[in-house]
């Protein structure tokens, strides 16, 4: 942290500058911020310049997918934990899609809600959300996104990669096996439960939808 003062008169000082400099990450960890070497955009993006407490980022309204942002890392083959960070706000898109690429091989796609940020780790002055753990066989790892998303602003901030010894699960949308449950039946009423919450996996036997009170079955 750097703090600067001006002396306005003997015994009185005026604060003129405060710089908060986060400690650098370990050498094995790589971070590419918006605007740094390895970051590239296609199309017209706006830019938030950043300040001592927040990283800079590029942003654009959700569109047709013609605008892209990418972060390219030179890496030896291995396993890597891939994370990203953004400045969350209510006007962000709820479905921003990140693609992770090993050379010419697409390893998978991960969708995030940029209206919120629940961090998986805190480092280098930022909250980071994991996109996944991947195994690469080439010498480059690229993370990209497009403006093809739900309405709102799409944020292209920073990407962090770190070596990982954890065996990676599939990155793309592979669903877990179904859980076996016993059928359940119950009755709800509008006058008694104005906003009922129904157990997962139950469907209305009367209407077939997921929200209408009535008799429900597994």
Q: How far is CA 80 from CA 33, 73, 143, 160, 185, in A?
A: 18, 11, 12, 10, 46
* pLDDT over 50 (residue 121): yes
| Helices and strands, counts by H and E, the chain | 0, 17
Q: What is the pLDDT of residues 61-72, one digit of tens each?
A: 999 999 999 999
* Domain coordinates in residue numbering, the chain: 23-163, 177-218
Which residue would you say has higher pLDDT here, 202 or 41?
A: 41
* pLDDT over 80 (residue 188): no
The pLDDT of residue 28 is: 82
Tokens 């990450």 belong to 25
CA distance 41 to 39: 7
| Window from 5-9, 18-22, 35-39, 112-116 with minimum mean pLDDT | 18-22
Q: How buried is residue 103: exposed, middle or buried, by Cβ count under 10 Å (0-12/13-18/19+)?
A: middle
Q: What mean pLDDT is reported for the chain?
A: 76
In CATH terms, 23-163 corresponds, of 3.40.50.740, 2.60.40.10, 2.60.120.260, 2.30.110.10, to: 2.60.120.260
The pLDDT of residue 212 is: 38
The pLDDT of residue 55 is: 83
The pLDDT of residue 4 is: 62
| Window from 8-12, 52-56, 185-189 with minimum mean pLDDT | 185-189
Determine if residue 152 is left, alpha or beta; phi over 0 gives left, psi from -120 to 50 gives alpha, anything else beta. left
């Amino acid at each position: 942290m750097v703090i600067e003062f001006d002396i306005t008169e003997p015994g009185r000082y005026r604060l003129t500058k405060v710089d908060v400099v986060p400690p650098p990450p370990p050498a094995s960890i790589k971070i590419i911020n918006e605007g740094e070497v390895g970051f590239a955009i296609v199309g017209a993006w706006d830019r938030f310049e950043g300040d001592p407490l927040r990283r800079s980022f590029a942003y654009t309204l959700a569109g047709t997918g013609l605008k892209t942002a990418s972060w390219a890392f030179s890496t030896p083959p291995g396993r890597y934990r891939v994370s990203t960070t953004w400045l969350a706000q209510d006007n962000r898109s709820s479905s921003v899609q990140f693609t992770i690429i090993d050379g010419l091989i697409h390893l998978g796609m991960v969708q995030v809600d940029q209206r919120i940020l629940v961090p998986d780790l805190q480092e280098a002055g930022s909250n980071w959300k994991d996109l996944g753990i991947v195994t690469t066989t080439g010498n480059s790892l690229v993370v990209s996104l497009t403006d093809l998303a739900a309405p709102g602003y799409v944020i292209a901030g920073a990407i962090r990669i770190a070596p990982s010894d954890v065996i990676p699960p599939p990155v793309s949308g592979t669903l877990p096996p179904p859980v076996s449950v016993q059928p359940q039946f119950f009755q709800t009423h509008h006058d008694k439960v104005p906003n009922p919450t129904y157990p997962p996996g139950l469907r209305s036997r009367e209407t077939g939808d997921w929200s209408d009170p009535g008799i429900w079955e597994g």
